[in-house]
Amino acid sequence: VLVTDYEFKQNKANSVVNRVRAGAISIESITESVTIDSSTLFNNTASSRDGAAFGGALRLKTSCLVEIRNSTFQHNSIYSKISGAYGGAIEVSNAIEPIIITNTSFIQNSACSNEGSSYGGAIRIVDSNKTDMNFCSFTNNSAISKTTTFGGAVCATDIPDLQVSDCDFDRN
């Protein structure tokens, strides 16, 4: 999967009862690589009243190589009233191959849950073997919940090899 020079703006995924996955792009169970390059994901939302919400703009549940570069994720959000909210802009899980995020900006993304927990205002990555974030900026992202929050900018769990270099974190 290759996405180059593309804009995803004001897309919505809503559910009353079930889980919701990604306001703009949801990719699951593929074996090919995923590359997003020089693209903008702006003001996308995923919300659920009774189920969990995964990835305001992008949700990846795949074992393949994932590369995100030279892109902007801005004003994306997820909301779950009762369950968890995972990754205001991006949620990635179960990645066997590396996740590489380079020269990408995350601005004013949010993960919000009224009664559940919130994980990663910009990014939530879980159960992944290797993640590299290089030359990225995280500005004004937030995880909001009445109960528990994890990572205003990034929530990374169960990642044996996590490397973050030359990234800026400001007011998350």
- Chain segment 34-84, per-residue pLDDT in tens: 999 999 999 999 999 888 999 999 999 988 899 999 999 999 999 999 899
Segment 120-146 shows an average pLDDT of 96
Comparing 21-25, 67-71, 149-153, 154-158, the range with the smallest average pLDDT is 21-25
Give the pLDDT of residue 96.
87
Give the pLDDT of residue 31.
81
Give the pLDDT of residue 16.
77
Mean pLDDT, rounded, of the chain: 94
pLDDT in tens, 25-39: 999 888 889 999 999
Amino acid symbol at 164: V
Our measurement of the distance from residue 88's CA atom to the centroid of its chain's CA atoms, rounded to an integer in Å, reads 5
Using CA atoms, how far residue 13 sits from 35, 40, 112, 160, in Å, is 22, 18, 15, 32
Can you name the residues that pair with 123 across neighbouring β-strands? 90, 154
CA distance linking residue 168 with residue 5, whole number of Å: 24
